[in-house]
Chain A
Amino acid sequence: MRPTIVAAVLVLAGAHLAAQTPKFSMAVDAVRLDVRVTDRGRPVPGLTIEDFELRDNGVIQRIRSVTREESALDAVLVLDCSDSVVGEPLQHLREAARAFSAQLSPHDRASLLTFSHQVTRPARLSTDRPALAAALAAATASGATALFDAVYTALILRDHSVSRTMILVFSDGVDTASWVAPSTVIEFARQIDAVVYAVMFEAERPAFTILSLPGRVPVATITTPAEPNVPRFLEAITEVTGGQLLRARGRTGLQDQFVAALRDMKARYVLSYMPDGVERTGWHAIDLRLTRRKGVVTARRDYFVAPQNP
């Protein structure tokens, strides 16, 4: 589908930024960038404004602040609970999610979306950890896989939040039931201010069964992956949102990767600037580099500002 005009991914975060950095006017649109800086895979600490050079649509911008963000984080877990994780894998998935939850700060909020061919929300965004734990304990696995639908849902639900948001997606490598096309989700992700992390693994051989309940539409379910449309999707969506794709070695590696994703998010810098010398609306290409230090910079590559509603 063609990219169309939607609301801005730009952080129209007047109130949010005003709360943290009162010198910004609430009326001013500021852009916030979540930035990962690593050197040989390790986070680079101690960077300041002077360490970055930022261009917005080719025009150098004045960076207003660089922080290693201590403010609250919204973490959305999007977990594959289809047939492919029935049994022990589901238990590993629960444990990984619990370990993730345990690493959250008390003021961080978390929610849980699960998906088979259906997308469900067993836990709303909140700081209520027991509720999250209960939702994880109650999660069951069955059915086909609608990963793209689930990620779209996570993105649109994030739309009105002004908090930093990480979406952690777990899937095992196949989508058999989504309505929303992967390209549509990726395009949409470019317009939403959330960082997507993904954890996946691939098993050896495919095995499909058909889930057929009386009066229901039969769906093909999968117990191990066969169609590698998901790896390409996850690579793309983590790239456009400045996140990271992590591969788990076997089911037991899940816990490590879930925790690693959260630590990585927490180790990010948050850059703020107010675009200057560029058209306000439309797509903005971002070019961010280090000036004085060595390292690899990972951030979203662009954002979109919709024209004002008439």
Chain B
Amino acid sequence: MKTVFAAGMLAIVAMASEPADPAQAYIALVNQYRLGDRKSAVETLATWPDADLTRALRGLQNELWPRADPAGRRPLGPEAPVSLEPDERKKPTPLELFATAMVLHVDAARSDSSILDRHLNAAEQLFALVADLERHGYRVAQLPAEARERTRFTGLWHALAGTIAAAFSAFPRAATHFDIAMRFGNDEPGVLIGAGSFHERVAGLVGAGEQRPDLGFAGSYAQMSADAHLLRAADCFERALALNPSAWEARMRLGRVAWQLGQLERARHEIARALKIAPDANAQYLTRMIAGAIAEQGGDMSEALVHYRRAQSLCGDCQSVILALSHALAQTRERNAAVQVIEGLLEVPSVLRSDPWWGYHMGQWHILDELLEQLRNAVPR
């Protein structure tokens, strides 16, 4: 009983210390996130029910611009949690608040597929709200004429949303985000690599010569073949490389896509270049694995084995290289060795295993924290 009572008291204290109005509570959370207490803000927002979130978003405008002045303008109230004055550094501009909220939502969306739509939708409502406010003459930014950073933020945000949606296999949603990202961020290598990775994955799901209505795509996406997705992926990676020739991931994925398109010579060429710029052991591992698969496809099993053995030297317990080695050995009639490597894998306790391949199809998920940081830094004021 004591415990229950104490918990009840704590709940009452917590309620008393929090703003009762959902919009106020929402703004407080966004500010908490903006000021660096991100984990707690994300965890709190992730548990918000739909109804509270809806009320918060509806109340935002009135919270920031409570009423019109006698001239009919809508200045920010003196008590507003935002400011357009550059010297009032503690307060964000309305645009900064909205953009930070968008980042917070995308940060929350990655935690669970069951809240993905809720939070990506909320962020999209904020995009629409900003456009609406500006259309009706509200000032939301210090430098409304500076469109470049807003465009960049929009591109990065949609690329991130697309990456998260794709990781949760929400493919139609991811497609929409990447399409928007490509319109706004087509000069960002990260956006291009994200979009290319998405098309690369969808190509694998569609399969050669098949239609996949179950994937839920509409419009032109529903008609796209695996090769069409691969070509689009290749285009994204090529554009990323034109902007940054040392982008290893773009080079490696371009090699894999060329291989899947049957362009073996090109695939070999790109993978050879990717091997030279692979920045770390994980990158080298994945590139070696793709190099091995390309050599295997070309019938050069000895070269494939060389690549797989190099990959094995980088990660001896990685399941993907053991399976690749086993299959290559089986194909070269080294059946005993093919079985032996598998036996070796099965002796490794599962808790000790990790494999870069397991994250490959999740696009840029492996650098999601970096992308979020990049997005936070790109928040326009």
Contact = CB atoms under 8 A, between A and B. Distances in A.
Interface of A: 1-2, 4-7, 117-121, 144, 146, 149, 152-153, 156-157, 159-160, 176-177, 179-180, 184, 188, 206-210, 215-220, 222, 226-229, 306, 309
Best-surrounded residue of B167, B169, B353, B358 (most CB of chain A within 10 A): B358
Interface in B316-370: 319-320, 323-324, 326-327, 330-331, 333, 335-336, 338-339, 342-343, 345-346, 350, 353-359, 361-362, 365-366
Contact of B357 (A121, A179, A222): A179
A217 B339 contact: no
B323 to A, nearest CB: 5
A117 B358 contact: yes
B326 A156 contact: yes
B323 A180 contact: yes
Interface of B: 110, 112-114, 167-169, 205, 207, 214-215, 282, 289, 296-297, 299, 301, 319-320, 323-324, 326-327, 330-331, 333, 335-336, 338-339, 342-343, 345-346, 350, 353-359, 361-362, 365-366
B113 A208 contact: yes
Contacts of A226: 169
Contacts of B365: 210, 218, 220
Contacts, number: 121
Contacts of B356: 217
A12 B180 CA distance: 59
Given A217-B358, A219-B362, A184 B327 contact: yes
B335 A209 contact: no
A248 to B, nearest CB: 20
Contacts of A209: 112-113, 168
State the 7 A-B residue pairs at the shortest beta-carbon distance, nearest first: A179-B320, A208-B168, A217-B359, A208-B113, A4-B331, A121-B346, A219-B358
A156 B354 contact: no
Best-surrounded residue of B319, B356, B361 (most CB of chain A within 10 A): B319
7 contacts: A4-B331, A206-B169, A207-B114, A208-B167, A209-B113, A215-B354, A218-B359
B349 to A, nearest CB: 9
Contact of B358 (A5, A177, A228, A306): A177
A5 B334 CA distance: 11
B330 A156 contact: yes
A260 to B, nearest CB: 28
A219 B215 CA distance: 20
Given A208-B169, A227-B205, A6 B335 contact: yes
A119 B346 CA distance: 7
Contacts of A157: 339, 342-343
A220 B323 contact: no
B323 A5 contact: no
Contact of A218 (B169, B330, B335, B362): B362
